[in-house]
């Protein structure tokens, strides 16, 4: 499955490099959603919520009313997870909270199949809090312990995020070998060959920068 991404910041659709530097603003959220018509699922990340500087809940609700959306960004409590489901999210993405005691409350509050755990790797270890803080954990080592708690994983190779230099297929292969749960890959996916290689591993692709810059054609992605 190919999953287009809508990243929200200050009410706008943006693309960042490695979660830090904004390099473009796209069309308004609902217009981008229309462009992504025909894809089974859309990934919506509230960057303001992830960074703890606000949220874009009204826009998230509008998007979820019109498409099947997995939503993440700042989901650090069971209450926030439930709020996103009430706003219409098809699935909820949890990152930082997966490394806190709050995870057990979220698991109790949310149907396992609706919970996606984000394992974002930078310089070899998992990063949290909007990719601003490093942990001592390697994604490929802890993924099996989190497997019983969720319906799938969103694994971002932050080192290549937004850089359009390709991704680390060997890293994703190690993740695939470590879990039977669904995996969605993100970070540096640039070409149709990247997507085909991931699909051969039974891994979904979340695509962002390459789509927004025209490097990947939506028509070609639909054809896949």
Strand partners, 69: 42
Condensed to tens digits (0 to 9), the pLDDT of residues 128-161 reads: 777 777 788 899 999 999 999 999 999 998 876 6
Condensed to tens digits (0 to 9), the pLDDT of residues 21-51 reads: 788 899 999 999 999 999 999 999 999 998 8
pLDDT value, residue 137 = 85
71 pLDDT band, cuts 50/70/90, is very high
162 pLDDT band, cuts 50/70/90, is low
Taking the CB of residue 70, how many other CB atoms lie within 10 A of it? 24
The closest of 113, 114, 142 to 128, measured between CA atoms, is: 142
d(C-alpha 142, C-alpha 121), whole Å: 12
Of residues 46, 120, 159, 194, which has the active-site annotation? 120
User: Domain 2-223 class?
Assistant: alpha beta
Q: What is the mean pLDDT of residues 167-195?
A: 94
Long-range contacts of 140-144 (CB under 8 A, 24+ apart): 140/171, 140/174, 140/175, 140/178, 141/178, 143/119, 143/175, 143/178, 143/179, 143/181, 144/178, 144/179
Of residues 7, 46, 48, 194, which has the active-site annotation? 7
Active-site residue flag, 168: no
Active-site residue flag, 120: yes
H or E element: which one contains 146?
helix 139-146
């Amino acid at each position: 499955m190919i999953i287009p991404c809508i990243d929200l910041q200050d009410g706008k659709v943006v693309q960042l490099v490695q979660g830090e530097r904004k390099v473009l603003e796209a069309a308004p959220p609902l217009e981008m959603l229309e462009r992504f018509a025909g894809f089974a699922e859309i990934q919506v990340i509230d960057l303001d919520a992830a960074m703890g500087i606000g949220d874009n809940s009204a826009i998230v609700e509008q998007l979820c009313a019109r498409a099947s959306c997995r939503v993440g960004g700042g989901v650090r409590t069971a209450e926030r997870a439930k709020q996103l489901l009430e706003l219409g999210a098809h699935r909820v993405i949890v990152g930082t909270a997966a490394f806190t005691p709050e995870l057990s409350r979220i698991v109790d509050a949310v149907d396992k199949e609706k919970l996606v755990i984000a394992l974002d790797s930078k310089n070899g270890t998992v990063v949290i809090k909007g990719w601003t803080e490093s942990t001592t954990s390697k994604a490929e080592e802890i993924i099996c312990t989190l497997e019983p708690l969720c319906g799938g994983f969103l694994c971002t190779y932050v080192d290549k995020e937004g850089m359009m230099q390709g991704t680390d297929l060997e890293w994703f292969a190690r993740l695939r070998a470590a879990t039977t749960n669904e995996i969605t890959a993100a970070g540096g996916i640039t070409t149709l060959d990247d997507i085909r290689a991931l699909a051969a591993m039974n891994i979904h692709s979340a695509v962002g920068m390459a789509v927004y810059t025209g490097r990947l054609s939506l028509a070609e992605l639909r054809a896949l």
